[in-house]
Amino acid sequence: MSAPPPFDTVLVANRGEIAVRVVRTCREMGIRTVVVHSTADRDSAAVRMADEAVQIGPPSPKLSYLYAPAIIEAALATGARAVHPGYGFLSEVPDFAEICARHGLVFIGPRPEVMARVGDKALARKLMADAGLPVLPGPKEPVSGPAELLTEAKRIGLPLIIKASAGGGGRGMGVVRTWEDLLPTFRSVHATARSVFGDPGVYLEQYWERAKHVEVQVLADEHGTVLHLGERDCSVQRRHQKLVEESPAPCLPDGMAGRLGELAVMGARSVGYTGAGTFEFLVDGDQAAFIEVNARLQVEHPVTEMVTGIDLVREQIRVAAGLPLPFSQQDVLPRGVSVECRINAEDPERGFAPCPGELTEFVPPGGAFVRVDTHGYQGWRVSPDYDSLLAKVVVWAPDREQAIARMDRALAEFRIRGPGVHTTRDLLRDILADPVFHLGTHTTSLLDGRSGQAGAALAG
């Protein structure tokens, strides 16, 4: 006998591969699913898989996947009791979580106040510093104007980075490498913060040029249990778009991974975090610094699932229903290595611009320990209105070299064709062949222009 489902019906407020991902776990848990969709997604895989689908608006995200009134109405009309926001869209919007609560719907994520506090990146930095996490040198408060900017910048030294408090994930930040750049970069980040994020706050940090980007998965329930599920390395990025992620992180100094896990748990506990979340760190040699919290399930969560055997969506749903986590820290025993590659519909010949179009052939790879999270199928039209992520290929193996070999085999096996449709697949295979990537010593500068095939592919 399996446990009764914690909710009768969950509404999935997202699209693409993550909507499919959430529907699958709901089905395993005996939960009925409602998927909302725009007119562009009426034939989507998630719509086909869900128990019920509700069209909520036109392709424009503002009028559909970001439009709270239509989503709430769909939830109430279909008898949904909880809302899973996936990632992106409304997943980190405190007002949406609040609106759900006001309508008697459980938002599957942290409480709105907690989301608001960690979502303000300058505030999160201060809160985490106060909780004892190491942060990069820089003032604890946002900078208000040019006079303070110069004083604080001199204290930090160059290079430094100016970040928007409301930014994150690489948007709304500017690196300052020369003193002439200081004021123009400040003005530019400030203007972006005001116009794009509607919050003019900006803050300063010392800039770490060659660091590993390592993040820790945390899971916390409403009964005081806060656990970490190990770390992921996300250093392989191109213009802040992650390409390859893996767990555990390779080549960390002895004791570093465990320390980061403990720091993330300390940080999560200090703000009363509940649900699944990620603590991002930069790691340079034996130094580590907290950079930000992601108050959502992340795209790369499957590598953590593969090494821990824990279904993060299942635990998110159980925690949101008020259930205690069914395991403790010593039950989390990561095993082997998992690697994820993101296949985007992008054209390498056009600076990796998104290339929508019909998939006339779509045959994902298979075999032992290969997982493909995708919403693609033969005949599906990749829409120009949304993110170009088409599939995530995730593999597991006992060690890193076998995992890389398995990934290369899986990528080679993937058949994706369509008029005008190009993908990041060949770039990913170049990265897998890079000797520095094989060593595992790479930092976020791996693709900066001249390291091996991948760098060459980029430079060209």
Binding site for ligand MV4 (CB under 6 A): 136, 161, 169-170, 205-208, 213, 237, 240, 280, 282, 291-292, 444
CA–CA dist 346, 364 (Å, integer): 17
How far apart are CB 243 and ligand MV4 at their closest, in Å? 11
How far apart are CB 448 and ligand MV4 at their closest, in Å? 8
**Which of these, 319, 328, 325, 327, lies nearest to 6 by C-alpha position?**
319
How far apart are CB 19 and ligand MV4 at their closest, in Å? 24
How far apart are CB 173 and ligand MV4 at their closest, in Å? 7
**11/289 with CB nearer ligand MV4:** 289
**280/373 with CB nearer ligand MV4:** 280
**Which of these, 381, 384, 236, lies nearest to 303 by C-alpha position?**
236
What is Dmax (Cα atoms) for the chain?
Answer: 68
Residue 296: active-site member: yes
Residues facing residue 324 across a β-bridge? none
Query: The tokens of 442 are what?
Result: 């790479």
In angstroms, the Cα distances linking 187 to 120, 121, 201, 239, 295 are 20, 18, 12, 21, 28
CA–CA dist 232, 215 (Å, integer): 5
Neighbours of 154 (CB within 10 A): 11
Q: Are 56 and 78 in contact (CB under 8 A)?
A: no
How far apart are CB 134 and ligand MV4 at their closest, in Å? 12
From the candidates 21, 296, 400, 425, give the one annotated as an active-site residue.
296
Cα end-to-end distance, the chain, whole Å:
58
Continuous H helices in 79-111: 94-102
**336/440 with CB nearer ligand MV4:** 440
**59/169 with CB nearer ligand MV4:** 169
Beta strands in 17-92 (DSSP E): 32-38, 52-57, 82-84
**Which of these, 75, 35, 37, lies nearest to 55 by C-alpha position?**
37
Kindly state the helix (H) or strand (E) to which residue 69 belongs, with its residue range.
helix 68-78
Q: Are 295 and 110 in contact (CB under 8 A)?
A: yes
**204/432 with CB nearer ligand MV4:** 204
How far apart are CB 449 and ligand MV4 at their closest, in Å? 12
Beta strands in 121-159 (DSSP E): none
Residue 354: asked if its preceding bond is cis (omega within 30°), the reply is no
How far apart are CB 121 and ligand MV4 at their closest, in Å? 9
**171/335 with CB nearer ligand MV4:** 171
Q: Which amino acid is at 239?
A: R
**168/354 with CB nearer ligand MV4:** 168
Question: Catalytic amino acids?
Answer: 296
